[in-house]
Amino acid sequence: MMPKQNILDDAKLADQFQDHIDADEKIEPKDWMPDKYRNTHIRQISQHAHSEIVGMLPEGNWIGRAPTLRRKVALLAKVQDEAGHGLYLYSAAETLGISREEMIDQLHTGKAKYSSIFNYPTLSWADIGAIGWLVDGAAIINQVMLTRTSFGPYARAMVRICKEESFHQRQGYEIMLTLCRGTNVQKEMAQDALNRWWWPSLMMFGPRDNESPHTEQSMKWKIKRKTNDELRQQFIDNTAPQADFLGITIPDPDLKWNESRKHYDFGEIDWDEFWTVVKGNGPMNKERLDARKKAWKEGTWVREAALAYASNKVH
Amino acid sequence: MKDTLYDYLLILGDNPLILGHRLSELCGHGPTLETDIALTNLSLDLFGQVRSLFQYAAAVKGGNATEDSVAFLRSERGYKNAILLEQPNIDFAHVMVRQFLYDAFNLPQLEQLVKSKDKTIAAISAKSIKECRYHFRFSSQWIRRLGGGTEESHRRVTNAINVLYPFADELFNETMAEQKMKEVGIGADLAKIKPIFVNEINETFNEVGLKVADIAPRIAKGKEGLHSEQLGHILAELQYMQRAYPNMQW
Ligand SMILES: [Fe+2]
Ligand SMILES: [Fe+2]
């Protein structure tokens, strides 16, 4: 009898759960939730956290070479913000019953993914501008949507994070603007960075809707409120006029304002490249993961010492 | 006098510049996220101090000098940081011992400099000393953790002390600029700092069974522009953009 009773209860709970979501009420960690909802969130929030942490590496690559003291301080602070985002997000995921160590282990073993954009190299100072402008810009579009996601801790983390991300984006754009108003060499540097970061930035929104199997369930649970293609279009519509203002050219011959759609039309993304990077064979996948594993491994004795000292003091 | 003040500002500013650079190398590579953030905070504070000191140095120098020309456009022999600060991030124990030695020196130095007859130095120091107090708490606490943590951490921190402590003496070798600035009431009296430094170090080390006895100081003349082989590599990175793309706005 018991199992049947449980199934009935679960069905009732699931209905109530969906009612909450339909009424736009937040789900909190102690509330009942379907296992699949819990696991989807653990996966998504931890991957988001990993992206923040791995994302520190490409920009960290230019801290030592920042051209002025002002730029150096701004870049250091920006990369530090990303570490803070990682912290909030790991904490949000922990409310669902997974530890930070487990999540980090999943990153290191490759079980958990992170955003593929960070598997591209930063080759010039202009990349720091381009990343702020395009990568943080794309992240914001996704994250603004997530401030209204159904899971309370995730939504609240996003509110804090979005404020900082929009600052990062303005800062990145300002770097690009300075370069584009500078010498020819600087402008070339800016154009080259746009050429290299444009398409990977569009890929940040994920596969096209008809190839995105999770979208329907995610919309129903209000994890997502817009589809990948809608978000990508929004990003392009925002960004194209900004490139015009800079006076540099988006590397897409098909990019054109479509008056009847009131949107920009754009060319085809290289989906082979997208999947190649997702599968681990991008230009920097190995180096990024190795750097994270190395930091964690070399930090082991430090973490152990801190724990031992704390418990020595108590006893 | 103006030249001496400028030199003195370089001595004050190059220590946080080079240490800030070393700490910034760790951003994204810390042993925990919390420690990563804390180390970056130290680095940010230090670069903030550098900016204030070099803006002042640029004003003292006059002409086209800016905080950036002071920071980036000197030759290697023109940098006046103590050699301790350019030592590499061998492991977290080296990072913390280097930091602790500098903080234990710099805190009493700033306590004198807040009373400097030079109002700008006094004002910069008044801001820096708050940060330095925090840095000292942070680094001394880590020395305790590492010294009183595990066998491995105790061994590593002992090793780092053996490597780095012999460079600490240079901080107290008075250069011409430091002597002159002391005499006119602008600079700190290094001789007065030494006993405070030794006392702080010994107290913290004793708490967790660490020692500095019997380590002879090494010849180190970074403050006079004679550096270890480390600095050239730091400058190659630090100056890269300014050297590769001169006279541009960033
Ligand atoms: Fe972020
Ligand atoms: Fe960001």
Asked if B47 and A73 touch (Cβ cutoff 8 Å), the reply is: yes
pLDDT of A212 reads 84
B30 contacts on A by Cβ (under 8 Å): 295, 299
* Helix A136-146 × helix A152-180 angle, to 10°: 160
d(C-alpha A129, C-alpha A131), whole Å: 6
Left, alpha or beta for A26 (phi > 0: left; psi -120 to 50: alpha)?
A: beta
Q: Which of A72, A175, A304 to mutate to test the interface with B (most CBs of B within 10 A)?
A: A72
Contacts across the A-B interface (CB distance below 8 Å): 138
- Ligand nearest the Cα of residue A131 is 2
SS3 A256: strand
Which of A68, A79, A305 is the closest to B250 by Cβ? A68
B98 within a domain of the structure (yes/no): yes
The answer to whether the CB atoms of A305 and B68 lie below 8 A apart is no
Overall average pLDDT of the A154-170 stretch: 95
CA distance B61 to B65: 7
Ligand 1 geometric centre to CA of B95 (Å): 27
Q: Residue A73 and residue B156: Cβ atoms within 8 Å?
A: no
The Å distance, Cα A135 to ligand 1 centre, comes to 10
What's the pLDDT tens digit per position in A217-257? Answer: 888 888 888 999 999 999 999 999 999 999 999 999 999 99
Q: Residue B71 has what pLDDT?
A: 98
Could you give the CA distance from residue A86 to residue A113 in angstroms, rounded to a whole number?
14
Interface test mutation site (partner B, options A56, A90, A309, max chain B beta carbons within 10 A): A309
Q: Check if the beta carbon of residue B133 is closer than 8 Å to that of residue B107.
A: yes
Instruction: Give dist(CA A224, CA A215) in Å, integer.
Output: 7
Q: Is B75 on the interface with A (CB under 8 A)?
A: no
Ligand nearest to the CA of A77: 2
Q: Hey, is A150 helix, strand or coil? A: coil
Measured between CA atoms, the residue of chain A closest to residue B47 is: A73
Measured CA to CA in angstroms, residue B109 lies from A200, B16, B113, B194 at distances of: 50, 13, 6, 10
Q: Does B249 reside within a domain?
A: no
CA distance A113 to A94: 17
User: How many angstroms away from the CA of B231 is the closest CA of chain A?
Assistant: 13
Q: ∠ CA A158-A163-A165 to the nearest 5 degrees?
A: 85
- Are A63 and B245 in contact (CB < 8 Å)? no
SS3 letters for A275-311? Answer: HHHHHHHCCCHHHHHHHHHHHHHHCHHHHHHHHHHHH
Mean of the pLDDT values across residues A180-200? 98
Structure tokens at B94: 């080296």
Distance B30 CA to ligand 2 centre (A): 19
- B67 contacts B242 by C-beta, under 8 angstroms: no
Chain A residue closest in CA terms to B67: A69
User: Considering only alpha carbons, which residue of chain A is nearest residue B154?
Assistant: A305
Does residue A278 register a pLDDT over 60?
Answer: yes
Per-residue pLDDT reduced to its tens digit, B183-209: 999 999 999 999 999 999 999 999 999
State residue A315's pLDDT score. 62
Q: Which residues of B touch A182 (CB under 8 A)?
A: 248-250
* Under-70 pLDDT residues of chain B: 213
- DSSP reduced 3-state for A263: strand
CA-to-CA separations, B100 to B45, B93, B232, in angstroms, rounded: 15, 10, 24
Confidence of residue A1 (pLDDT cuts 50, 70, 90): very low
CB < 8 Å to B41, chain A = 80
In chain B, the residue whose alpha carbon lies closest to the alpha carbon of A61 is: B25
CATH code of the domain containing B199: 1.20.1260.10
Give the number of whichever ligand sits closest to the CA of residue A59.
2
Q: Does any CB of chain A come closer than 8 Å to the CB of residue B231?
A: no
Neighbours of ion ligand 2 (CB under 5 A): A 136, 165, 168
**DSSP letter (8 states) at residue A64:** T
Residue B121 lies in a domain: yes
Most B CBs within 10 A among A56, A63, A69, hence the mutation to make, goes to: A69
Question: Which pair of structure tokens corresponds to residue A38?
Answer: 């819990």
For residues A197 and A176, what is the distance between their CA atoms, to the nearest angstrom? Answer: 13
Answer yes or no: do A183 and B33 touch at CB < 8 A: no
Helix B119-147 and helix B151-168, axial crossing angle in degrees, nearest 10? 150
Report in angstroms the alpha-carbon separations of B244 from A75, A119, B72, B227, B247.
Answer: 20, 27, 12, 23, 10
> What six digits make up the tokens of A290?
């190795």
> DSSP string of B36-56?
HHHHHHHHHHHHHHHHHHHHH
User: Distance from the CA of A134 to the center of ligand 2, in angstroms?
Assistant: 10
Write out chain A residues lying below 8 Å of B58, CB-based: none
Q: Which domain holds residue B202?
A: 2-244
CB contact (8 A) between residue B148 and residue A309: yes
Residue B99 lies in a domain: yes
Handedness of CA B66, B71, B73, B79 (dihedral sign): positive
Cβ separation A80–B249 shorter than 8 A: no
The number of domains in chain B is 1
pLDDT > 90 in chain A, percent: 89
Report the residue from B28, B146, B245 with minimal CB separation from A79. Answer: B28
Count CB atoms within 10 A of the CB of residue A271. 12
Q: Is the pLDDT of residue A2 over 70?
A: no
Q: What is the DSSP pairing of strand A256-258 with strand A263-265? A: antiparallel
Decide if B250 is inside a domain.
no
Contacts of B247 (CB under 8 A, 6+ apart): none
Q: Residues within 5 Å of ion ligand 1 by Cβ? A: A 52, 82, 85
**Nearest neighbour of A306 by CB, restricted to B51, B149, B250:** B149
Does the pLDDT value for residue A3 go beyond 60? no
Could you read off the pLDDT of A4-51 as tens digits, one per residue? 666 668 889 989 999 999 999 999 999 999 999 999 999 999 999 999
Q: What is the pTM of this model?
A: 0.96
